[in-house]
Chain A
Amino acid sequence: MTDTLELKQRLLAEFSTREQLLNGSRETPLHILRQDAMNRFDELGFPTIRHEEWKYANIMPALLIPFSSAQPSNLTSDEVCNFYLEGIEANILVFVNGYFAPEHSKFISSEVMMSNFEASLKTPIENSRFAKISGYKNESFTALNTALSNDGAWISIPDGVILTNPIHILMITDSREYSPILHPRHTIHCGDRSEATIIYSSHTIGENSGFTNSVSEISVGQNAKLHQYIIQNDSDLSYAVNSSYVHQERNSTYSVVTVSLSGKFVRNNHTSKLAGENSVANFYGLVIGGSKQLIDNHTLADHSVPHCQSNELYKYILDDRSTGVFNGKIIVRPDAQKTNAYQSNKTILLSDTATINTKPQLEIFADDVKCSHGATSGQLDEESLFYLRSRGIPADKARALLLHAFASDVLNHIAIAPLRDSLDKSIATRLHDESEIALLVE
């Protein structure tokens, strides 16, 4: 217990050190807000498993690791280019240890404003928008990020712009020399009638642990469409808490596909507030769990106005001693009549030591709604396996084929073919059937 206190004390100390360097700007509204957030973090502390939302995700072991504040790190372009997405012509924003690395970044779409969080804060308008969507009163990690974040991606898509090239936010954690803790903060504005695709991928270089506590604030304007693909591919020693807060205007569509491949502890909080009529939120997720991983997806579709729709599909394939957690919450507020909300969580357990804890939750305060959720947990269907084997497909190949089919329900929501294919391959690798599936994919 004393150790967990230590990390908290160190973070509090870091905040006061930074505060002293501020000199004159200590009285700015921005800093006052950060100070309030830090106080809130101090009050809340790190969540324990006695906290309902953290019941199945024990963060305590991570707090014993001697994390220290992440510093900028210079990577060679060879090291970075490994993580560029093959076959995709994309704008790339590279962040190393949470700091913007313009030398590795690439801008091809001039109609979009892309920059980093630090630079954006110099404008008063961004200053006033900061933490408006996310808030920080209830989540201690969000409060911590609000207080300590100093960099991240800043993307603003002007009204009516339809972006043809996706934007790739590439996060690299360099843990070769020490165990860094970083608090990246991403801000994405989609103007009215705009459309964009954003790919977010995270990777680690190095053998030490890393802790990423990221927060994204996303606003989707009227009639706008935003597609987000999140690929989590950190090392098996890394910890991540990713919280994204989306605010949707009238007729907007927000879709996110989260593919969690590795990472020792991954917690994703996706919150979408459907604040304008006729808006649609889609959450899709695929989890491939192995070793002693813990992957926790928390989603919240907050229906506050009538005629909105939300869809959720999360699929888990869990092997070894991994643990999967799914907590999907749908809130339909009193005025949100004619809401349609669907939620589904399906799990295949491949070993007796793997565990799934799922909690699909509905909180409904309006009567004219259609809401449903389903959750299943089981194994590969014996009959399907038999069918394939009776047609001459060997058992292991049949198994791989079925798992691939199971996963494809989620992957099919990725519209960029090269990305989908490369994910197919990485998943095949993860499921130890590389050759088998690679053949099937091609």
Chain B
Amino acid sequence: METNMDILDEVVSRDYQYGFVSDIEQEITPKGLNEDVVRLISGKKNEPEWMLEWRLKAYRHWLTMREPKWPNVHYPQIDFNDISYYASPKVKTDAPLSLDEIDPELRKTFDKLGISLIEQQRLSGIAVDAVFDSVSVATTFKAKLAEKGIIFCSMSEAVREHPELIKKYIGSVVPVGDNFYSALNSAVFSDGSFCYIPKGVRCPMELSTYFRINAKDTGQFERTLIVADEGSYVSYLEGCTAPMRDENQLHAAVVEIVAHKNAEVKYSTVQNWYPGDKNGKGGIYNFVTKRGICLEDNSKISWTQVETGSAITWKYPSVILKGDNSIGEFYSVAVTNNYQQADTGTKMMHIGKNTKSRIVSKGISAGKSHNSYRGLVKINKTASNARNFSQCDSLLIGDKCGAHTFPYLEVSNCNSTVEHEATTSKIGEDILFYCNQRGIPTEEAIALIVNGYCKEVMNQLPMEFAVEAQRLLAVSLEGSVG
């Protein structure tokens, strides 16, 4: 028992390693939300008139909506007028920056986060679009991608330079009034990434966005849009961190993916927003809408997520399988510790014939946290021969936490096959004993077992992310033995 206490003490003294604050001169709009703020954000971005109209439409719709109460999470009422909706590092012009022009302080921040933009460019060959608070600060490898006709830039740039694409696709997967937070995002989204892969192009490198919340009392609302044209392929990574603060901060993002005929999009997330301290104080509210559509035949969208951060997570990356023979996948590891709450899962909507979906969800709850899986598999009448397999397992560590599963299966087609299975258990004493007996301390043994338990999902992650994710998993669970 004593060793366990030592471990606990050690962990208590350990900090969230990304919890620093960068001292950067920032431009922040006053708190509160009204039409003027929406106009202001749109103005700052030099957006065309149609974009402003679109935002205003979303804002007006948002006013008529109520906050959803159905998720299995509990938090105090959010005052939407006590948040700043726009914060950006102060720069001379709003023009896209070249890497050399970035504020040295900002560069340091990203270095600390382990994404030295220049280095990463050279070594790992991943194109990065970094979003700091509300604004995209740097996009690497742009020229190289442009050679292939790939567009990878910040959303505000895309609105100005590729209006025809944005007009066509924005809001086509997640409509303006889809839900409370997506409507809010549509009204005030400040930036994000846009990515277009032209016909028949296989993107030569992993594309990546890094999100960072820095400013106090701000909300971050970014919007990502990925369009994969006929026969193209792209793998996209997303990472995020935030400083430690006692107040809760809101993050409401929207990600839309469109896959055309024979196209494949792979979207991986390692979400590590600040989860709050061990008493549940502070942390990010992560309310995210992610949805992809397999618009045409033989397309494929795959979501992989490793969720370790955020005080509250509320997200359901979904796939609408519209094209015949299209495939949707969802691989998820969600870890909650201390007072974290997660309500996450997926939706697979089968519309086209011979569509397939696969769901693998691994939930791990420790401490006093609650982890829920909520998923929907809907097989429409038109989806002949549709196939779904879902597996959601929960692992409980400690007797104060909770693990919940809410799967919804709706089948209206007699040629389809749907299978769902779920288990809940704890780490077997015998397995732990086996490890101990061979000289592996309990803490390490748990990390080992958990990593093995999540392997199916981890295998789906690109190399660079898999290493980070494994480390994160071990860190998130430290001290949960007790």
Contacts and interface: CB of A to CB of B under 8 A. Distances in A.
Given A350-B414, A354-B412, A367-B426, 16 more contacts: A334-B400, A352-B381, A360-B422, A361-B404, A362-B405, A367-B398, A368-B399, A370-B423, A371-B425, A376-B417, A376-B420, A377-B416, A377-B418, A378-B418, A379-B414, A379-B415
Contacts of A372: 421-424
A433 B425 CA distance: 44
A432 to B, nearest CB: 16
Interface in A355-374: 355-374
Contact of B420 (A334, A337, A349, A375): A375
B408 interface: yes
Nearest to A332: B424
Nearest to A361: B406
A246 to B, nearest CB: 23
B407 interface: yes
A435 interface: no
Contacts of A373: 405, 420-422
A164 interface: no
A359 B426 contact: no
B394 interface: yes
A360 B399 contact: no
Given A52-B70, A364-B424, A372-B421, A358 B414 contact: no
Interface string A25-57: 000000000000000000000000000100000
B411 A360 contact: no
B403 interface: yes
A347 interface: yes
B87 interface: no
Interface in B416-453: 416-426
B414 A349 contact: yes
B402 A363 contact: yes
Nearest to B366: A367
A52 B72 CA distance: 13
B409 interface: yes
Nearest to A366: B399
Nearest to A367: B396
Interface in A200-232: none
A52 B421 CA distance: 22
The secondary structure that dominates the B interface is strand
B372 to A, nearest CB: 9
A362 B418 contact: no
Given A357-B408, A369-B425, A364 B414 contact: no
B415 A375 contact: no
B397 interface: yes
B410 interface: yes
Interface of A: 52, 334, 337, 347, 349-379
A312 B33 CA distance: 51
Given A364-B404, A367-B426, A371-B425, A356 B399 contact: no
B409 A359 contact: yes
Nearest to B387: A378
Given A351-B414, A364-B424, A370-B425, A375 B407 contact: yes
B417 A378 contact: yes
8 contacts: A351-B414, A352-B381, A360-B422, A366-B399, A368-B426, A374-B421, A375-B409, A376-B420
Nearest to A352: B414
B470 interface: no
A362 B424 contact: yes
B319 interface: no
A359 B420 contact: no
Nearest to B391: A374
A312 to B, nearest CB: 13
A408 to B, nearest CB: 21
A53 to B, nearest CB: 12
A377 B408 CA distance: 12
Given A376-B417, A376-B419, A359 B424 contact: no
A347 B407 CA distance: 16
Contact of A359 (B396, B406, B419): B406
B401 interface: yes
B413 interface: yes
A354 B407 contact: no
A371 B406 contact: no
A375 B70 CA distance: 23
Contacts of A363: 402, 404
Contacts of A358: 408-410
Contacts of A362: 394, 403-405, 422, 424
Given A350-B414, A370-B425, A374-B422, A364 B381 contact: no
From B379, B402, B410, B424, residue with most partner A Cβ within 10 Å: B424
Nearest to B401: A367
A365 B411 CA distance: 30
Contacts of B425: 369-371
B411 A356 contact: yes
Contacts of B406: 359, 361
A357 B409 contact: yes
Contacts of B409: 356-359, 375, 377
A70 B55 CA distance: 58
Nearest to B395: A367
Contacts of A52: 70
Nearest to A350: B414
A369 B407 contact: no
Q: Which 9 A-B pairs have the closest CB atoms?
A: A367-B396, A349-B414, A378-B417, A372-B423, A371-B424, A355-B412, A375-B420, A377-B418, A374-B421
A349 B404 contact: no
Contacts of B399: 334, 337, 366-368
B344 to A, nearest CB: 15
A358 B410 CA distance: 6
Contacts of A367: 396-399, 401, 426
From A334, A337, A350, A352, residue with most partner B Cβ within 10 Å: A352
Contacts of B70: 52
Given A359-B407, A370-B425, A364 B420 contact: no
Nearest to A337: B399
Nearest to B410: A357
A145 B424 CA distance: 37
B426 to A, nearest CB: 4
Contacts of B410: 355-358
Contacts of A371: 423-425
A371 B409 CA distance: 19
A349 B385 CA distance: 13
B413 A352 contact: yes
A353 B381 CA distance: 7
A263 to B, nearest CB: 21
A328 to B, nearest CB: 11
Given A364-B404, A366-B399, A367-B401, A349 B411 contact: yes
A361 B69 CA distance: 18
Nearest to B414: A349
